Amino acid sequence: MKLDLDTLSQWHRTEALDSIKEIKARDKGLTHLDDISSCLQLRKLDLAKNQLTNANCNFKGLDQLTMLDLSLNNFESMHGLENMKQLNVLTMGSNKLKSLSMEIANMTQLKALILSKNEIKRIKYLNHLTQLNTLVLSYNNIRTLPSIQAMTQLTKVNLSHNQFSIIPDLTAQAACLKELRLNDNQITTIPATLRQCHALETLDLGNNLIENWSNLAALGSLVQLHNLNLKGNPIANKDSYREKILALVPTLRVFDGQRFDPKFLQRKQKQASNLKLVEKKERLKREKENKLEGKTETKRRHRHVIKEQRLQQQQREERQVAKEEEQAKKRKERAEEVAERKAKKKKQDVFFAEPEPQQEEAMEDVHYEAPVPVKPSKPSKSAKASITKTKPAASMSTKSAKSPKPVQPVPTPSKSTMVRKQKNPKQPMATPEPLSVSSATEPVAATTKQSPAAIPSASIPERSGVLSVIDKSKKSKKAPAEDVVAKLERLKTQEKQQATPSSTGLDADAWD
């Protein structure tokens, strides 16, 4: 595949070519790079992991680039990059470089140079890179490092996996050098020149040939050293190795890849108690390893996770059952309350209802004292004359009125018999109905079967004022209850009033 303007037009359809600032062409299977100088605003170009070579690439017109990534390709030199004077970051790792050509001397603005995993044996022209702060030359065949006194801005130097036997002189970078990695080399001693690097924080000398305590004496001057690695050296097998190193460099927090400062240990212990966080870290670690190997891993569930999920499900089910039981209990209580309310209402209805036959029989046991009958006065002669002048139907009523049947005296209830006798003591006591009193002007009911409407009012004699008992079998409208004693007193007063001469005009001789 060829990278040219047509390809860029397909990749950036919504953007003009002269306004493109970044091109990401990593792992696109590119074999050629044509002239793309029309991209005037281009600043970042990523061509990593392709099949590009020096002969198939044209970098003409790309003088404004600030970042160029050519790693994982087949470049053998830096030919064609000599005009990139504005370049800040150059990455050419995992190529076939054998040396640093003079083209690199023109990159005076370079700040990071990464040339790891190449075949470099000789290094030249580095002293021209005065702005460089990061130099990575790991996994090469370098034996010595030339003078780099002009590179005063260096803060990170990685020379691991080479063939160094002596640590290079870095006194010119002593003020700013913070990280130095020389692991997997053939170093036997730490020179005194390293004592001046007071700003050094990380020093990796693992897998070298250091075997004497005197060879480590210079470490005592590194007052800012926090991370030290001596694993893989012969001295690491000696007795009291760890204690002596910690006494020599008391500022250490990470030694041989293990961190041991109190704050970190406390935080690590707290994180270890969080199973979910531990699982997440392990999963991320596995995914990272598998990603490097080109594999994918599905998310696995551990036993404690499954157990916790089951416990949560069980708790949810228990809460649901408890909620249903509580609702059933409330429904039962409401039903009982409604039933109790209905029973209470029914009981009240029975209490205020009309008396039943057995209650009526109980009421018949009440005894009354009969009042003294009043002897009716004889009608006057004028009254007789008025009676004879009435209609014939009235005469029949007079005959029946002249010979009335004796009225049975109604007994007056005494105070001792005021309480009703009830056959069932559990039932509420029925309220006695008030006795009806016939007025003095009403006639006494005749024994004949004539209707009361057929009897004229003039021929009806005055009643004697005797109390009559209402027929309990007839259902009438319930009257409000009245005190029996007050009722009797009222009746007596009415009887006394009836004993006085009536206002009808009839005298005592009217009945003779």
pLDDT band at 100, cuts 50/70/90? confident
pLDDT band at 422, cuts 50/70/90? very low
For tokens 């990523």, name the residue. 46
pLDDT band at 425, cuts 50/70/90? very low
pLDDT digits (tens, 9 = 90+) for 9-35: 998 888 888 899 999 999 999 999 999
Residue 239 has pLDDT above 60, yes or no: yes
Arithmetic mean of pLDDT over the chain: 77
Q: What is the mean pLDDT of residues 332-338?
A: 91
Q: At a CB cut-off of 8 Å and minimum separation 6, what does 358 contact?
A: 423, 424
8 A C-beta contact, residue 210 and residue 233: yes
Residue 454 has pLDDT above 70, yes or no: no
Q: How far apart are the first and last CA of the chain?
A: 155
Residue with more model confidence, 1 or 382:
1
Which range has the top average pLDDT, 151-155, 269-273, 301-305, 435-439? 151-155
Is this model's pTM higher than 0.75 or not? no
What is residue 294's predicted lDDT score, i.e. its pLDDT?
Answer: 66
What is residue 344's predicted lDDT score, i.e. its pLDDT?
Answer: 84
Please give the sequence-ordered ranges of beta strands (E in DSSP) within 219-284, or none if there are none. Answer: 227-229, 254-255, 258-259
DSSP letters, 23-64, are: EE-TTS---EE---TT-TT--EEE--SS---STTB--TT-TT
d(CA 218, CA 208): 16
What is residue 415's predicted lDDT score, i.e. its pLDDT?
Answer: 43
pLDDT band at 404, cuts 50/70/90? very low
Residue 408 has pLDDT above 90, yes or no: no
Q: Domains of the chain (ranges plus CATH)?
A: 2-274 (3.80.10.10)
Residue with more model confidence, 506 or 487:
487
3-state helix, strand, coil in the chain (%, to 5): 35, 10, 55
Residue with more model confidence, 113 or 125:
113
What is residue 479's predicted lDDT score, i.e. its pLDDT?
Answer: 52
d(CA 432, CA 355): 9
Q: At a CB cut-off of 8 Å and minimum separation 6, what does 165 contact?
A: 143, 185, 186, 187, 188
